Amino acid sequence: MTAYDDLMAHARQTEALSQISGRLGWDQQTMMPRGSNAQRSEEMAALEDVLHARRTDPRLGELLDRAEATDDVAAANLRELRRDYARNTRVPARLASELARLTPLAQAAWEEARLADDVASFLPWLEKMIALRREEGQAIAAGGDPYDALMADYEPETDSETVAATFDRMRPRLVALREAVLGADSPPALTGHFPQDGQLRVSRRLAEHFGYDFTRGRIDLAVHPFSSGSGTDVRITTRVAIEEPFNCLYSTIHEVGHAAYEQGVGAEHLLTPIGRGVSMGVHESQSRIYENQIGRSRAFTGWLHGAMVQEFGALSVADAESFYAAVNRVTTGYIRTEADEIQYNLHIMLRFDLERDLMRGKLDAADLEEAWNTRFMSDFGYPVDRPSHGVLQDVHWSVGLFGYFPTYALGNVYAGCLYQSLRADHPDLDAQLAQGDTSAATGWLREKLQRFGALRAPRDTIAHACGFTPDEGPLMDYLEAKFRALYRL
C-alpha cells in the first residue's frame, strides 16, 4: 500500500459516512416524524463528531506529505484532500463547536424575526454569527482575505475580485434590460387551480424527460426543494403551490439539473474526493441550464404547454406563445427566490457586496438593514416595504453562509457559456426540445462536464466543457436577445 492508497481508503470511508449524514438530513426534511427531532439532532451530532475527527486526523497530514500522484485522477484527488485538510485543521476546535452551537439558535431567531418583521430581535444573533465567521475566515485565510477564504468552501480557486469585476460589468446591462422590459406591456400570467396530484404527475414526466434516473433516485415533497446524495443514490424534493404550478415544475427541473450532475459522475469515481460536483457554482450551472436555458426556452415550453393542457384541460393562456410569455414573465418584486432570469442576478450582486463588506469588517450588523435598503432602491428603483421583503428574506446569513450567494450568479454565468457551446454543437436543438426531447442537451452536458466530477478546478471544468475561458458575455447576450424578442423591444 502506498501513502496514496492509504489516503484513498480513508477518504472513501469518510465519504461513505458523510453520505449517511446527508441521508439523515434528507430524511429529516421529508419523512421523519415530528417528535423525533431531539433524538435526530443527537444522532447527527454524533456522526458529525466522528467525521470531524476523521477529517482532522494528524495521520492524514502525514500521509498527505508523503503521497504522490501518478496520474491526473490521483492529482485531482490529492488537490481536494489537501485543500480540505488545510482548511479543517486551521479552524480551532473551540471555534468549530461555538459555530455548531450558535447555528440552530441563530436560525430559530431569524425565523421568528422574519415572521414578526423585527430586525432588532435578530441583530444580537447576527452580530455573534458575523464575529465567529469573520474569525473563521481569518483562520482559514492565514493572512489572506477572510471573505475569499469562506467563499472557497463553496467555490474553490475563484477569488472575489474576479467575481466583483464580472458583476460590475453585468450590473448596468441588467439594470437597463430590466427597465426596458418593465416599461413594456406585460403578458398575462397563468392563472387557475392546479391540483397537487396533477402537478406531481407533470413533475415526474419532466424529470423523466430531463433524464433523471429513478432507479437511482426519487422525488418527495419538502418545504424547500433540494437535491442530496451522490453516485447511485441522488434524491430530490419539490413543493406544490396550487395556484402557481410553475413553482413546482421549475423547482423540479432545477433539482433534476443538480441531481444529473451527481448521477452523471463516472462510476469509477464513486465515493472518492472527485466523485461529486466540483463547486456550488458549477453545480448551479447545471440546475440553471436545465431550468432556464432549456426548460424556459420557447421550444421546450411548447411541449410543456401541451403536457399541461393534457393534464389540466384548457389553460388561462390561449396558446403556446402566450404560455412561453407567462413562463418568462418579468414583474417587480422584492424576493430573490421568486425573481426572473434578469433580476435574479441583481439580487445576488446586492448580497455579495454587503456580505463581503461584513466579512472584511467594513460593515457591521447594526448598519446592515440601512445598507440593504439603500442598495435595493438604487438597483431596483423602489423602496423595500418591510424587512421580511428585504434584509430578513434569506436564511443564509442566519446559518453563517457567507460567501455562498455569489455561486448562484456564477452558475448563471457558467450556464450561459455552456449553452452557447451546446447550441453551436447542436444547431437542431430546438426541433428536439419542441418534442420534449432533451437527450441531446443533457447527453452533451454529461459527456462534456458531468462525468468528470471534480477532476478539474471549477473554472477549468467550464472552460474544458465549452472550449473557452468563461465570462459573462454569453449569458448577457442570451438574456438581451431572449427578453428583447419576448417584449418586442
Q: Of these residues, 255, 262, 291, 472, which one is catalytic?
A: 255
Q: Which residue's CB atom is positioned nearest to Zn ion?
A: 287
Q: Give the footprint of Zn ion on this chain (CB under 5 A).
A: 287
Q: What is the smallest separation between the CB atom of 276 and Zn ion, expressed in angstroms?
A: 15
Q: What is the smallest separation between the CB atom of 286 and Zn ion, expressed in angstroms?
A: 9
Spell out the SS3 assignment of the chain: CCHHHHHHHHHHHHHHHHHHHHHHHHHHHHCCCHHHHHHHHHHHHHHHHHHHHHHCCHHHHHHHHHCCCCCHHHHHHHHHHHHHHHHHHHCCHHHHHHHHHHHHHHHHHHHHHHHHCCHHHHHHHHHHHHHHHHHHHHHHHCCCCHHHHHHCCCCCCCCHHHHHHHHHHHHHHHHHHHHHHHHCCCCCCCCCCCCHHHHHHHHHHHHHHCCCCHHHCCEEECCCCCEEEECCEEEEEECCCCCCHHHHHHHHHHHHHHHHHHHHCCHHHCCCCCCCCCCHHHHHHHHHHHHHHHCCCHHHHHHHHHHHHHHHCCCCCCCHHHHHHHHCCCCCCCCHHHCCCCHHHHHHHHHHHHHHHHHCCCCCHHHHHHHHHHHHHHHHCCCCCCHHHCCCCCCHHHHCCCCCCHHHHHHHHHHHHHHHHHHHHCCCHHHHHCCCCCHHHHHHHHHHCHHHCCCCCHHHHHHHHHCCCCCCHHHHHHHHHHHHHHCCC
Q: What is the smallest separation between the CB atom of 472 and Zn ion, expressed in angstroms?
A: 19
- Given the complex with Zn ion, which of 279 and 287 has the nearer CB atom? 287
Q: What is the smallest separation between the CB atom of 221 and Zn ion, expressed in angstroms?
A: 18
Q: What is the smallest separation between the CB atom of 341 and Zn ion, expressed in angstroms?
A: 14
Q: What is the smallest separation between the CB atom of 383 and Zn ion, expressed in angstroms?
A: 29
- Given the complex with Zn ion, which of 287 and 420 has the nearer CB atom? 287
- Given the complex with Zn ion, which of 8 and 260 has the nearer CB atom? 260
- Given the complex with Zn ion, which of 261 and 323 has the nearer CB atom? 261
Does residue 255 have an active-site annotation? yes
Active site residues: 255
